[in-house]
Amino acid sequence: MLNEKNANLLGDIRPGTAMNAVFKRMWLPVMTSNHLAPGSDPEKIRVLDQSYVAFRASNGQLAVFDEKCPHRGCSLELANVQDDSLRCIFHGWKFHVSGKCVETPNEPDPRFPSRVPLKSYPVKEAGGAVWVYFGEGQAPELPDLIFNLLVDDQLCSRRAVCDYNWLTGLEAILDPSHLGILHSSWIQKAPDSSSSVDLGAAGANLAPTLECEETDHGFRYVTLRSMGDGSSYIRVSEIVAPNGVFIATTDPGRKLFIMSVPIDNYTSMQWYFRHSPDGPMPESDRSWAIGRSDLDDNDFYQTPKTQPRWGQDREAMRRGESFTGFTDIMFEDFIVGESQGAWPDRTKEFLGTADKAIHFARQYLLERLKSDVPPLPKPGTPLYHLQALAARIPGDEDWRRVTETEQAARAERYAGLRG
Amino acid sequence: MDALLALLARTSTSVMSDALQKCGIDGQCRGIGPINPGDRVHGVAVTARISPYNAASKHHAEYMDLLGPGSVPVLDGRGIREGALWGDLRATVAKRVGAHGTVVDGMVRDRDGCRELGYPVFARGAHMLSGNKLAWIEERDVPVTIGGVYVRPGDFVLGDGDGVLFIPRDAAAQVYDQAAPLQEADERMLAALRDGMSLVEARNVYGLKSILPPR
């Protein structure tokens, strides 16, 4: 459980809060790169309980401004798109994609536009997403997470909007024991892989041992499952503080980074950065990534929300065909998260031994929030070589050693990507 | 063993005792405690065996010369209760040379003086009777027995409200490896309990079962 004070400290991301300040020190993905075509309508976006407007000029450049016109606060979502600019429909003030006000037709002074305090934010496109820095001052480097260094045909980056607090989204990824239960029907249908990654093993042993340790990029946790034949099945997840996690998938070629980004206290974006660092992503992987979710990359979780009980198929449950009555593994996570409540009462929880990583994450965040060191990667820490790991290792092998060896090998293999 | 000393500076005898138990080491002194509330000591033992005066006895001054910063005078008086083996005069000198506190298997006196001096003393008790004839140095810098624990010069000492324990120098690394995670779990559990978590839940998320010494 968390007491109310700590629950608020972690969950509350409104302007002025400690977590808001943390998120404003980092680049945040706000929409998929393919969402806005050149010259398309401006789009209102909400992040960190504030509203912005994004548009892509016909020259392909993208801009993110405060949603409200700096003049009288008319929404720029309503603006005209003209000459690589947004023109407010109220008094015709015109804002160029470069972030400058270039015309104010109702003001005679020609120097007037240059004095208009348009709030424009640094934007970058990488990893199939549009990243924005909402903080003050000089933006830091865009994180060199490996998918940010890859090209389009190596990526399948998708975004879902879920009706729950960002912490719920993070904690869903820090909860390894649900894998063999919530996703049990899915695991049984997953192609049995003879590779080192073995979701069947995850399902076979429902009560793994969990260990966590702090790192320069945040922390990592490992689940250790004794396999009966003297070997251990380990799954190591790397948490890039405060809100992103590399988790292991069924196929060693399929890499996945999940990130929970707050929209407001009751809504968050769940990002799925699937990537294939060693070459183009096969079409089969792309369709596997989409699964049975909705096709819109920028909002792939729509259908269940429109249906009673999220469209749960009770008949399939009665027939024993499906444990959850849901068909998509990602939907299963979103739906249980939403069912906990948009702002769950964490003072009423009862954590068990399987919840160590969740508790570790909360303590990590709380300790940092109460100190001078923000819950972010240590400045200058390289991230490009981080990946999750799933492997069968001899029972007497130390998982830390295996993790470090793998990481060192990746650091060498992918060093060239950093340019 | 700077890491161990740093740990001793902030940990408790209960945590270190659990670590000793996990290592199968019997280092907890019986019958010896602080003479003033709040006394805490950690450091490196500088030993001496005490006995009544005889022709071979050495003067205390010879022993006191061994003390330096971070040392802990450890006096084996074999538990005698007939007179005090330590008092505020020696405490004043020990403090001046940087000793962290004194452990005596026997009695001490000047409890109030030691408190005012801010010098921690651990003993079987305090009594005003002089140890004039009893408290001579038989041998210094030799193995001694304190509260039933065999102590070599250079062993590590920790004392607090729960008593005194010794960590053999040659087991320092092993004890440290057991104690560091115990101390961390202890601190984290305390914080979680203060924040309102139930004992059962805290045990779940900190996995105390696996880190406490076996029953």
The domain limits of chain B are 26-167, 173-211
Residues A176 and A102 in one domain: no
Residues A98 and A243 in one domain: no
CB-nearest to B196 from A1, A352, A356 is A1
Closest CA to B108 of B125, B94, B89: B125
**Residue A239 in domain:** yes
Residue B211 is predicted with a pLDDT of: 59
For A178-195, what is each residue's pLDDT tens digit? Answer: 887 898 887 776 554 433
Instruction: Please check whether residue B195 touches A, CB under 8 A.
Output: yes
CB-nearest to B207 from A3, A350, A353 is A353
Round to whole Å and give the CA distance between A403 and A411: 12
Residue A32 is predicted with a pLDDT of: 98
Query: If DSSP codes are grouped into helix, strand and coil, which group holds residue B126?
Result: strand
Q: Does residue B209 carry a pLDDT above 70? A: no
User: Which residue in B has a C-alpha nearest to residue A356's C-alpha?
Assistant: B205
The nearest CA of chain A is from the CA of B189 a distance in Å of 11
Q: Calculate the alpha carbon distances from B187 to A222, A353, A373, B180, B192 in Å.
A: 22, 18, 19, 11, 9
Task: Provide the number of CB pairs (under 8 Å) joining chain A to chain B.
Answer: 33
Residues A103 and A168 in one domain: no
**Residue A215 in domain:** yes
Q: Enter the tokens of residue A370.
A: 């109460």
Query: Which residues of A make CB contacts under 8 Å with B?
Result: 1-3, 6, 347, 350-353, 355-356, 359-360, 363
Residue A192 is predicted with a pLDDT of: 44
CB-nearest to A351 from B191, B195, B205 is B205
Round to whole Å and give the CA distance between A166 and A265: 7
Query: If DSSP codes are grouped into helix, strand and coil, which group holds residue A131?
Result: strand
User: Which residue in A has a C-alpha nearest to residue B181's C-alpha?
Assistant: A213
Which residues in chain B (163-192) have CB-CB distances under 8 A to chain A? Answer: 188, 191-192
Closest CA to B139 of B38, B63, B79, B193: B63
Query: Which residues are CB-contacts of B140 (< 8 A; sequence separation ≥ 6)?
Result: B47, B48, B49, B58, B62, B63, B66
Which one of B184, B190, B195 would you mutate to disrupt binding with A, by most A Cβ within 10 Å of its Cβ? B195
Residue A196 is predicted with a pLDDT of: 36
DSSP state of B58: B
User: Which residue in B has a C-alpha nearest to residue A359's C-alpha?
Assistant: B205
At the top level of CATH, which class does the domain B26-167 belong to? Answer: alpha beta
Interface contact B192-A363, CB threshold 8 A: yes
Residues A85 and A210 in one domain: no
Strands A231-240 and B163-167: unpaired
Q: Does residue B143 carry a pLDDT above 60? A: yes
Long-range CB contacts for residues A37-41, cutoff 8 Å, separation at least 24 = A39/A81, A40/A81, A41/A81
pLDDT-flagged residues of chain A (< 70) = 189-207, 250
Interface contact A1-B205, CB threshold 8 A: no
**Residue A160 in domain:** yes
What confidence category does residue B135 fall into, taking pLDDT thresholds of 50, 70 and 90?
confident
CB-nearest to A6 from B188, B195, B206 is B195
Residues A234 and A335 in one domain: yes
Q: Are A179 and A324 in contact (CB under 8 A)?
A: no
- Give the CATH number, domain containing residue A47: 2.102.10.10
Q: Which residues from chain B sit within 8 angstroms of residue A369, using beta carbons?
A: none
Instruction: Please check whether residue B198 touches A, CB under 8 A.
Output: yes
Q: Are B39 and B121 in contact (CB under 8 A)?
A: yes
Query: If DSSP codes are grouped into helix, strand and coil, which group holds residue A85?
Result: strand
**Residue A351 in domain:** yes
Residues A198 and A93 in one domain: no
Q: Enter the tokens of residue A9.
A: 């400290």
Any alpha helices (H) in B78-198, and if so which ranges?
88-96, 111-117, 172-194
Round to whole Å and give the CA distance between A414 and A411: 6
Query: If DSSP codes are grouped into helix, strand and coil, which group holds residue A224?
Result: strand
For A225-251, what is each residue's pLDDT tens digit? Answer: 888 788 888 999 999 999 999 998 767
Residue B214 is predicted with a pLDDT of: 57
CB-nearest to B201 from A1, A6, A363 is A1
**Residue A22 in domain:** no
Interface contact A351-B188, CB threshold 8 A: no
Containing structural domain, residue A86:
34-126
Query: If DSSP codes are grouped into helix, strand and coil, which group holds residue A378?
Result: coil
CA B31, B34, B40, B41 dihedral sign is negative
Last residue of a domain, one of A92, A126, A160: A126
Q: Are B169 and B155 in contact (CB under 8 A)?
A: yes
Residues A76 and A196 in one domain: no
Q: Are B47 and B149 in contact (CB under 8 A)?
A: no
Interface contact B204-A353, CB threshold 8 A: yes
Cis peptide before B181 (omega within 30 of 0): no
Q: Enter the tokens of residue A142.
A: 């865009």
Q: Which residues from chain A sit within 8 angstroms of residue B196, using beta carbons?
A: 1, 3, 347
Say how many domains are in chain A: 2
Residues A185 and A291 in one domain: yes
User: Which residue in B has a C-alpha nearest to residue A358's C-alpha?
Assistant: B205
Residues A261 and A385 in one domain: yes
| Mean pLDDT score, B118-145 | 94
Q: What are phi and psi of A191, to 5 degrees?
A: -60, 130
The nearest CA of chain A is from the CA of B8 a distance in Å of 23
Residue A288 is predicted with a pLDDT of: 86
Q: Which residues from chain B sit within 8 angstroms of residue A1, using beta carbons?
A: 196-198, 201
Residues A150 and A122 in one domain: no
User: Which residue in A has a C-alpha nearest to residue B202's C-alpha?
Assistant: A351
Residues A329 and A209 in one domain: yes
Interface contact A351-B195, CB threshold 8 A: no
Query: Could you give the percent of chain B with pLDDT greater than 90?
Result: 78
Query: Which residues are CB-contacts of B175 (< 8 A; sequence separation ≥ 6)?
Result: B4, B16, B19, B20, B23, B25, B167
Round to whole Å and give the CA distance between B85 and B83: 7
Whats the size of chain B, residue-wise?
Answer: 215
**Residue A5 in domain:** no
Instruction: Report, in angstroms and rounded to the nearest whole number, the Rg of chain B calculated over CA atoms.
Output: 18
Whats the size of chain A, residue-wise?
Answer: 419
Q: Is B2 annotated as a binding residue?
A: no
